[in-house]
């Protein structure tokens, strides 16, 4: 793949996604359950809210296929999604175009839902507490939509496990 010639296409796709997500983000309320009203585009569908994950701990990972630390942490996320199935749900929010995300998901065996946000994902990340606007950025919510904690940069399995334990303990779907 010629990265130089694909960059304008990636930028255009990211810009289009940013505009699509901006309207949804502007309409999303603030507060503990705001994550559930956030509208995102699944890899293979129309915009939907994250409300379907209410009741259980939710791990939202902002990432991109071209991000080295993102590539490093994905295998741990895949393993944790299996280990915590029924108690916690992982979702990935990609800051890239669908073709690159699909290829990455296939190559890495991603077993959790992926959403496309393009560069619009940066606004969502900032709203969730990221101070850098860079990936990877991971947010852990309890089942009521309260933010339990964030991980800026590469997520260590130990820190993620600790945040997950706290989120699961206060999630109504796990009591």
Give me 90's structure tokens. Answer: 């992982």
Report the distance separating Cα 97 and Cα 11, nearest Å. 9
Q: Kindly report, residue by residue over 74-99, the tens digit of the pLDDT.
A: 999 999 999 999 999 999 999 999 99
Q: Determine the pLDDT at residue 1.
A: 42
Nearest to 53 by CA among 163, 114, 142, 157: 142
State residue 2's pLDDT score: 40
Range of the domain at 159: 3-174
**pLDDT on residue 106:** 97
Domain count, the chain: 1
User: Taking residues 4-11, what's their average pLDDT?
Assistant: 46
Residue 25: predicted pLDDT: 42
pLDDT confidence of residue 82:
97
Output the pLDDT for position 149.
Answer: 95
- Give the least confident one: 10-19, 38-47, 114-123, 149-158: 10-19
Predicted confidence (pLDDT) per residue in 30-62, tens digit: 566 778 888 899 998 889 999 999 999 999 999
**Best-predicted range by mean pLDDT (10-14, 23-27, 145-149):** 145-149
pLDDT (mean) for 159-167: 96
The model's confidence at residue 21, banded by pLDDT at 50, 70 and 90, is very low
Q: Is the model's pLDDT at 125 over the cut of 50?
A: yes
Of 68, 125, 123, whose CA–CA distance to 92 is shortest? 125
Q: What's the confidence (pLDDT) of residue 116?
A: 95
Helix, coil or strand: residue 79: helix
pLDDT of residue 65: 96
| Closest by Cα among 144, 73, 141 to 110 | 73
Give me the CATH number covering residue 33. Answer: 3.40.30.10
Contact 72, 42 (CB under 8 A): no
């Amino acid at each position: 793949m010629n990265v130089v010639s694909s960059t304008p296409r990636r930028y255009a796709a990211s810009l289009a996604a940013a505009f699509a997500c901006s309207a949804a983000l502007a309409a999303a309320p603030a507060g503990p359950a705001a994550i559930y009203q956030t509208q995102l585009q699944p890899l293979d569908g129309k915009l939907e809210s994250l409300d379907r994950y209410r009741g259980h701990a939710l791990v939202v990972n902002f990432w991109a296929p071209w991000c080295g630390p993102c590539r490093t942490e994905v295998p741990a996320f895949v393993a944790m999604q299996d280990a915590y199935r029924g108690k916690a749900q992982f979702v990935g929010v990609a800051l890239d175009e669908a073709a690159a995300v699909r290829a990455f998901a296939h190559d890495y065996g991603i077993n959790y839902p992926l959403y496309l946000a393009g560069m619009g994902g940066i606004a969502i990340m900032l709203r969730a507490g990221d101070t850098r606007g860079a990936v990877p950025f991971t947010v852990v919510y309890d089942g009521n939509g309260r933010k339990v904690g964030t991980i800026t940069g590469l997520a260590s399995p130990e820190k993620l496990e600790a945040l997950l334990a706290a989120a699961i303990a206060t999630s109504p779907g796990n009591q």
